[in-house]
Amino acid sequence: MDKTIKFLNEKTNNFKPEIGIILGSGLGELADEHCEYAVPYNDIPNFVKSTVKGHKGRLVFADMQGKKVVMMQGRNHFYEGHSMQEITYPVKVMKALGVKTLILTNAAGAVNESYRPSDLMLITDHINFTGSNPLIGPNDETLGERFPDMSEVYKKSLIELAEKCAEKLGIDVQKGIYWANSGPSYETPAEINMIRKLGGDAVGMSTVPEAIVANYCGMNILGISCITNAASSSSGEKLSHEEVIEAANNAKSKFKSLILEVLSNL
Ligand code: HPA
């Protein structure tokens, strides 16, 4: 960690972010538009390389709405073959840089039948169905407890703030529970039925490992899913990564304005 932080401090002239944002599939444009320093993951000591199309793979530092922000433009996923510990290392790096509030974003499939593609969903809670946990292994007591409480991972006050911001901007938002699978295969219709019965509103392949680690190290978390598709196909229609990226593209202008409004009110 010392090596990573020293490297980033050198590259960014000691930029000290207070807010972190992890940008999901198709939502990375915010980091193109607000960029003072950009550091590719491939250059950062101890970071793993990003391999997914639509994910750029760099840390971007910028002043936004008067706040010092670090953004992950693209993230690493468990399904790429990285360990849970590797994919959540950047959250620990953000913590070490001084980040107190983390905004997690993703593209997700709708399980709740009232959701439509390009809807935004504020995450109220999650269900970890990845079959793993990033905190498995020896615990670093300087970061957090062995058995962290998970009763309010997504901070109520931040959800309320995001709702108010959305209302001010005239953006309709959903609120719901994010279900995380490991991927990379999308879900079968039977799996979607199960997720719906067990309380999931949206399903995706990210975010939850990062939320577990950020909560563990005491960060305030806001989670926003961009609904990109009706999860699986009881209708028989096939789902593709291109469709997911296209829907995220359609939602990106309201997504960006919501994030900027939230930042100015934090
Ligand atoms: N399932 C899982 N992950 C996803 C989906 C989906 O339908 N859409 C975007 N990410």
55 an active-site residue?
yes
Q: Measuring from atom 9 of ligand 1, which residue has the nearest CA? A: 108
Determine the pLDDT at residue 249. Answer: 81
For ligand 1, pick from 106, 123, 187 the residue to mutate: most ligand atoms within 8 Å of CB.
187
Number of other CB atoms surrounding residue 156 within 10 Å: 9
CA-CA-CA-CA torsion for 127, 75, 122, 143, nearest 10 degrees? 70
User: pLDDT digit string (tens) for 227-262?
Assistant: 998 886 556 678 888 877 887 888 889 999 999 999
Report which of residues 247 and 167 the model is more confident about: 167
For the purposes of burial, counting CB atoms within 10 Å of the CB of 40, is it exposed (0-12), middle (13-18) or buried (19 or more)? middle
Q: Measuring from atom 6 of ligand 1, which residue has the nearest CA? A: 109
For the cut 90, the answer to whether the pLDDT of residue 146 exceeds it is: yes
Phi, psi (deg, nearest 5) at residue 231: -65, 130
pLDDT band at 53 (very low <50, low <70, confident <90, very high): low
Task: Give the pocket of ligand 1 (CB within 6 Å).
Answer: 107-109, 186-187, 203-205, 228-229, 231, 244
The percentage of the chain sitting over the pLDDT mark of 90, rounded to a whole number, equals 84
- Please give the average per-residue pLDDT across 130-159, as a whole number: 97
Query: Which secondary structure element, helix H or strand E, spans residue 263, and what is its range?
Result: helix 241-265
Q: End-to-end distance of the chain based on CA atoms, in angstroms?
A: 28
Determine the pLDDT at residue 230. Answer: 85
Distances in Å between the Cα of 188 and the Cα atoms of 184, 194, 233 are 12, 10, 8
Quote the ligand 1 centre to 48 CA distance (angstroms).
23
The percentage of the chain sitting over the pLDDT mark of 70, rounded to a whole number, equals 96
Determine the pLDDT at residue 48. Answer: 86
Which atom of ligand 1 is least distant from the CA of 232?
7
Encoding tokens for residue 210?
């990062």
Quote the ligand 1 centre to 23 CA distance (angstroms).
15
Phi, psi (deg, nearest 5) at residue 101: -120, 130
Amino acid at 177: I
What is Dmax (Cα atoms) for the chain?
A: 53
Encoding tokens for residue 14?
């000691």
Report which of residues 258 and 26 the model is more confident about: 258
- Please give the average per-residue pLDDT across 194-212, as a whole number: 97
Distant-in-sequence, close-in-space partners of 239: CB < 8 Å, separation ≥ 6: 109, 186, 229, 231, 232, 233
**Residue 117, preceding peptide bond in cis (omega within 30° of 0):** no
Q: Tell me the average pLDDT of the chain.
A: 93
User: pLDDT digit string (tens) for 81-138?
Assistant: 999 999 999 999 999 999 999 999 999 999 999 999 999 999 999 999 999 999 999 9
pTM for this one?
0.95
Say whether 57 sits in a helix, a strand or coil. Answer: coil
Asked whether the beta carbons of 112 and 229 are under 8 A apart, the reply is no
Distant-in-sequence, close-in-space partners of 245: CB < 8 Å, separation ≥ 6: 25, 26, 53, 54, 107, 228
Which of the following is catalytic: 80, 86, 163, 243? 80
Which of the following is catalytic: 193, 241, 246, 257? 241
